[in-house]
Chains A and B, each alone.
Chain A
Amino acid sequence: MTTPLLTLTDRGLHCPDGDFTIDPWRKVDRAIITHGHGDHARNGMGHYWTAAPGVPILRKRLGQYSPVEGVPYGERRTFGAVTVSFHPAGHILGSAQVRVQRGDEVWVVTGDFKREADPTCAPFEPVPCDVLVTEATFAYPIYQWPNPDTVMEEIYAWWQRCAAEDRPAVLYTYALGKAQRILAGLHAFTNETVWLHGAIDGLTRIYRDAGVTMVPTVPVSEMPRSDRGAGRLILAPPSAAGSKWAKRFRGASTGFASGWMQVRGTRRRKGYDEGFVLSDHADWPGLLRTVEDSGAQRVLATHGHTDALLAHLQGLGIEAQALATPYGETEAE
């Protein structure tokens, strides 16, 4: 009997035959990276392979001269007896599913993904496989995303309400991916300049260089100190909430854009004025559809919230198990 194609070690999802690890969280020589979020792309690996559009993001996170190699979507690379290719996951710019093939056995690791349209990245592409390793961040049937266009409209309307009251609107959002998705989505309504926290500004430049159309932006640091942002929309990472930086925007209305805002308890506990249900992860129907599209007879779920999904898939006669990974812990979504 041959070894399993991928196996979970204390470093990550390891392929013994190809001698590489997918999204390792401890040091390995050869790392295959699904996308540039901090819980998936970590420092200290010997060599990195990632989907070509994700290279600038990885370099920004890991350093300009880090050993990162971009592979175009769909192109096959050989690692020993194993073939590896990257396929769009629709999560953020450069995000990929990793397809691993040995003989006629195919495994697909989705990484983080979503099925909704997103103007900032290539859309998710279903990849047939025998074993699907799927994320399960929002794996409960209560998570059924509203139409993202409607959510963008809500964000814009909130900004306009704040502007009418002469208040700043500070929207907290993940700096990589979600922020740029919002900037691109707002373009349908306005061409007014949005202010950015420093952590978002650098990443937004990468998106612009990649040709993503977004509303004009300016880093907050370039605005005169006396301007307190009344009537402005300001994007900032959640870590800036309650900080000295945020104090500048006196009387601001605060918002948070995240899939977690679907649940009232979370929404109220986080203490933002507004919660916008906008996620870069698959919702429950998205997860089920992806399993179905893949045709996989075996599903392994990562990210912790797996109990409902596993029970549901087992009910459909699919072999389903959980994989204990630390994904989703460092960067909340």
Chain B
Amino acid sequence: MNAFAALLTALERARSTGRKLELLTAYFKAAPAGDAAWALHLLTGRRPQRIATGPELRRWLGEATGLSDTVLEATYAHVGDLAETLALVLPPPRAGTQAPETSLQALLENTLAPLRGASAEARKSTLLTLWQAYPQGPRLWLNKLITGGLRVGVGEGLTLRALGQAFGLDPAVLQHRWMTPQAPTAEAFNALVDPEQATLHWAAPYPFCLAQPLRDGALPPHPSTAVLAEWKWDGVRCQLVRREGKTALWSRGRDRLEDRFPELTAAADDLPEGTVLDGELLAWAENGPGPFVELSRRLQRKRVTAALQRAVPVRFMAYDLLELHGEDLRPQPLEQRRQRLETLLSPAPAPALLLSPRLDNRSWESLAALRADARRQAAEGLMLKHEASAYESGRRHQSWWKWKLDPETVDAILLYAQPGHGRRANLYTDFTFAVWDQGALVPLAKAYSGLDEPTLERLDHWIRRNTKERFGPVRAVTPALVFELAFDSAHPAPRRKAGMALRFPRIHRWREDLAIEDADALETLRARLLPHG
């Protein structure tokens, strides 16, 4: 645990990507496989199940320190991070005490795992012992494991690069192996980093090829006719894998989804052996894609009922062919892959499998006109891919672009503020915004990104002096500040006070020029955004 805690502390202090890479590489080289497996698991965003709830931890902390709920509550609000509050409030271990030498694997598997579901007494006594054993530094990370809130500021990409460097592996090979998730065991880890060619699991998908965003009116440096244009669908990017007479459906987040979508598994039955399709999983209305919220109803259920299948039909909208008859087609130019895809899917072997249509690419003007119409197609904009492009992975592709619609905006009033996490743990950065409804304010959306650091500091200062009420770490502020929020779309949400919810709301700018009377009203928003609702 000490080496892993030291790594996390060093990563947090590292100022450059190069330094982070160095630290990660050194850790993977030195760590025993059992520890490295868990570290990889945790660094790539898999979280251990929490062992105690926030209220439990606060109660135990109160018992251990003799501090009252009110004092701990105020302290937690000041720090903004429970794991850190615990680490700092508890007295340090007696001088000269060394942190236990327990390995990360042993701590997680032998000490923490048996606590899940154990009695409160058992959990409390083990945690108190651990707290007393570890100094403040490792104690923080231990608490993050206990609360299930460990987040590390390194991406999956960087972690894999480091792993590749540590074991001298080709990044493409490692990425491909990585696509099939494994349990955090020494055995799986050793197979992952084995320098000899390892056999892949039958269901192994390919690393996804990602597009770069087009910004500020820029266009790809090609004639429009050299670019394959499609709708940018608003669903879940997936690979449909058909091998050994079996079917797997993978999301980009490496989740296996086929059990939730039996109609797609059935549709893949007639695909040739050794086929991998790249495409979009979509909820389907009568004649076209349904809203994303419908699809989430299906994603949330592990076991799907016939009624739900009828209520929310789905389609797989294929746009690329990565493997056919067991042959890896990724190095081929897109135009060739596309032709083979069209042949494969016309006629479609099953109604649930669709071919994402090519759009009219005779000029950039015609494409711009189509993009403007994307919302009516339930699409987020256009995808543009150069006809000669290979299917690459790793960094964002140089010849694939996403040309998204400009976001919708709303002027809304700041109502509640809550401290952020990690680097922003004691800074108010998570906000709830409201709009007018018949002279009253109703909460419309939460947003927490989009402001730069100096603005956040200034806003934080303002929030602390204009707090009306506190609810734990949340502060209700005097309604006075107006912000422009951007969002991708809106959908009806009957359980919310506003009756609607925004997709991907983020803060565009602080409208210091606006008074709260100038903020938007719910009625006009509804009319603008939910024409059918």
The finding on whether chains A and B are genuine partners in a shared complex, rather than unrelated, reads yes
Binding site for B on A (CB under 8 A): 140-144, 262-266, 268-269, 273, 305, 307-308, 311-312, 315
Is the Cβ of B81 less than 8 Å from the Cβ of A141?
Answer: no
Is the Cβ of A264 less than 8 Å from the Cβ of B425?
Answer: yes
Is the Cβ of A312 less than 8 Å from the Cβ of B68?
Answer: yes
Is the Cβ of B89 less than 8 Å from the Cβ of A265?
Answer: no
Nearest CB on A from B142, distance (A) = 15
Assuming the contacts A264-B425, A269-B427, asked whether A142 and B453 have C-beta atoms less than 8 A apart, the reply is no
Is the Cβ of B78 less than 8 Å from the Cβ of A264?
Answer: no
Which residues of chain B (51-83) have a CB below 8 Å from chain A?
Answer: 65, 67-68, 70-72, 74-75, 78-81
Query: B88 contacts the other chain (Cβ, under 8 Å)?
Result: yes
Q: How far is the CA of A269 from the CA of B453 in the complex (A)?
A: 8
Is the Cβ of B12 less than 8 Å from the Cβ of A264?
Answer: yes
Chain B residues near A308 (CB, 8 Å)?
Answer: 70-71, 74-75, 78
Q: How far is the CA of A262 from the CA of B71 in the complex (A)?
A: 18
Chain B residues near A144 (CB, 8 Å)?
Answer: 88, 91-92
Q: How far is the CA of A315 from the CA of B80 in the complex (A)?
A: 24
Assuming the contacts A142-B89, A312-B67, asked whether A265 and B425 have C-beta atoms less than 8 A apart, the reply is yes
Q: How far is the CA of A264 from the CA of B88 in the complex (A)?
A: 10
Closest A residue to B460 using CB positions: A269
Query: B34 contacts the other chain (Cβ, under 8 Å)?
Result: no
15 further A-B contacts with Cβ under 8 Å, apart from A264-B140, A273-B13, are A141-B75, A142-B85, A142-B88, A144-B88, A144-B91, A144-B92, A263-B84, A264-B12, A265-B81, A265-B423, A265-B424, A266-B426, A269-B423, A269-B427, A308-B71
Q: How would residues 422 to 439 of chain B score, 1 for a CB under 8 Å from any chain A CB and 0 otherwise?
A: 111111000000000000
Query: B532 contacts the other chain (Cβ, under 8 Å)?
Result: no
Chain B residues near A269 (CB, 8 Å)?
Answer: 423-424, 427, 453, 457
Is the Cβ of B67 less than 8 Å from the Cβ of A141?
Answer: yes
Is the Cβ of B85 less than 8 Å from the Cβ of A265?
Answer: no
Closest B residue to A141 using CB positions: B89
Closest A residue to B92 using CB positions: A144
Assuming the contacts A140-B78, A273-B15, A305-B78, asked whether A263 and B89 have C-beta atoms less than 8 A apart, the reply is no
Q: Can you list 19 A-B contacts with CB-CB less than 8 angstroms, sorted by A residue number?
A: A140-B79, A141-B75, A141-B89, A142-B84, A264-B425, A265-B422, A265-B424, A265-B426, A265-B427, A266-B426, A269-B424, A273-B15, A308-B70, A308-B71, A311-B71, A312-B71, A315-B68, A315-B70, A315-B71
Q: How far is the CA of A266 from the CA of B419 in the complex (A)?
A: 12
Is the Cβ of A141 less than 8 Å from the Cβ of B140?
Answer: no
Q: How far is the CA of A87 from the CA of B74 in the complex (A)?
A: 32
Give me the 3 closest cross-chain CB pairs, A-B, nearest first. Answer: A265-B425, A142-B88, A308-B74
Which range contains the number of B residues in contact with the other chain? 20 to 34
Chain B residues near A307 (CB, 8 Å)?
Answer: 74
Nearest CB on B from A292, distance (A) = 15
Q: How far is the CA of A263 from the CA of B427 in the complex (A)?
A: 11
**DSSP class of A's interface residues: helix, strand, loop or mixed?**
helix
Nearest CB on B from A108, distance (A) = 24
Specify which of B68, B75, B426 lies most central, judged by the most chain A CB atoms within 10 Å of its CB: B75
Binding site for A on B (CB under 8 A): 12-13, 15, 65, 67-68, 70-72, 74-75, 78-81, 84-85, 88-89, 91-92, 140, 419-420, 422-427, 453, 457
Q: How far is the CA of A265 from the CA of B84 in the complex (A)?
A: 10
Nearest CB on B from A332, distance (A) = 12
Chain A residues near B72 (CB, 8 Å)?
Answer: 141
Chain A residues near B88 (CB, 8 Å)?
Answer: 141-144, 262-263
Q: How far is the CA of A262 from the CA of B88 in the complex (A)?
A: 8
Closest B residue to A273 using CB positions: B15
Q: How far is the CA of A216 from the CA of B425 in the complex (A)?
A: 39
Specify which of B13, B140, B424, B427 lies most central, judged by the most chain A CB atoms within 10 Å of its CB: B13
Is the Cβ of B70 less than 8 Å from the Cβ of A311?
Answer: yes
Chain A residues near B89 (CB, 8 Å)?
Answer: 141-142
Is the Cβ of B84 less than 8 Å from the Cβ of A264?
Answer: yes
Nearest CB on A from B42, distance (A) = 18
Nearest CB on B from A276, distance (A) = 13
Chain B residues near A142 (CB, 8 Å)?
Answer: 75, 78-79, 84-85, 88-89
Chain A residues near B79 (CB, 8 Å)?
Answer: 140, 142, 263, 265
Chain B residues near A266 (CB, 8 Å)?
Answer: 426
Nearest CB on B from A330, distance (A) = 13
Chain B residues near A311 (CB, 8 Å)?
Answer: 68, 70-71, 74
Q: How far is the CA of A142 from the CA of B140 in the complex (A)?
A: 13
Is the Cβ of A268 less than 8 Å from the Cβ of B12?
Answer: yes
Q: How far is the CA of A143 from the CA of B67 in the complex (A)?
A: 14
Q: How far is the CA of A263 from the CA of B88 in the complex (A)?
A: 9
Q: How far is the CA of A265 from the CA of B456 in the complex (A)?
A: 13
Nearest CB on A from B455, distance (A) = 13
Q: How far is the CA of A273 from the CA of B15 in the complex (A)?
A: 8
Nearest CB on B from A169, distance (A) = 15
Nearest CB on A from B141, distance (A) = 11
Q: How far is the CA of A312 from the CA of B70 in the complex (A)?
A: 8
Chain A residues near B425 (CB, 8 Å)?
Answer: 263-265
Closest B residue to A285 using CB positions: B91
Chain B residues near A140 (CB, 8 Å)?
Answer: 74-75, 78-79
Nearest CB on A from B454, distance (A) = 11
Closest A residue to B70 using CB positions: A311
Chain A residues near B423 (CB, 8 Å)?
Answer: 265, 268-269
Chain A residues near B80 (CB, 8 Å)?
Answer: 265
Closest A residue to B9 using CB positions: A264
Q: How far is the CA of A265 from the CA of B424 in the complex (A)?
A: 5
Nearest CB on B from A64, distance (A) = 36
Closest B residue to A306 using CB positions: B74
Q: How far is the CA of A268 from the CA of B426 in the complex (A)?
A: 11
Q: How far is the CA of A311 from the CA of B75 in the complex (A)?
A: 11
Q: How far is the CA of A263 from the CA of B84 in the complex (A)?
A: 8
Q: How far is the CA of A273 from the CA of B12 in the complex (A)?
A: 11
Q: How far is the CA of A268 from the CA of B420 in the complex (A)?
A: 13
Q: How far is the CA of A140 from the CA of B15 in the complex (A)?
A: 29
Chain A residues near B424 (CB, 8 Å)?
Answer: 265, 269
Q: How far is the CA of A326 from the CA of B393 in the complex (A)?
A: 56
Closest B residue to A315 using CB positions: B68
Is the Cβ of B65 less than 8 Å from the Cβ of A141?
Answer: yes
Q: How far is the CA of A268 from the CA of B75 in the complex (A)?
A: 19
Nearest CB on A from B386, distance (A) = 40
Closest B residue to A147 using CB positions: B95
Q: How far is the CA of A96 from the CA of B427 in the complex (A)?
A: 33
Nearest CB on B from A311, distance (A) = 4
Nearest CB on B from A168, distance (A) = 16
Chain A residues near B457 (CB, 8 Å)?
Answer: 269
Closest B residue to A253 using CB positions: B15
Q: How far is the CA of A179 from the CA of B78 in the complex (A)?
A: 27
Chain A residues near B13 (CB, 8 Å)?
Answer: 268, 273
Chain A residues near B74 (CB, 8 Å)?
Answer: 140, 307-308, 311
Chain A residues near B68 (CB, 8 Å)?
Answer: 311-312, 315
Q: How far is the CA of A273 from the CA of B14 in the complex (A)?
A: 8
Closest A residue to B457 using CB positions: A269
Chain A residues near B15 (CB, 8 Å)?
Answer: 273
Q: How far is the CA of A166 from the CA of B454 in the complex (A)?
A: 32
Assuming the contacts A264-B140, A265-B81, asked whether A141 and B427 have C-beta atoms less than 8 A apart, the reply is no
Closest A residue to B81 using CB positions: A265
Specify which of B71, B80, B419, B420 lies most central, judged by the most chain A CB atoms within 10 Å of its CB: B71
Nearest CB on B from A197, distance (A) = 23
Chain B residues near A305 (CB, 8 Å)?
Answer: 78
Closest A residue to B461 using CB positions: A329
Closest A residue to B420 using CB positions: A265
Q: How far is the CA of A263 from the CA of B68 in the complex (A)?
A: 21
Nearest CB on B from A123, distance (A) = 23
Q: How far is the CA of A305 from the CA of B79 in the complex (A)?
A: 12
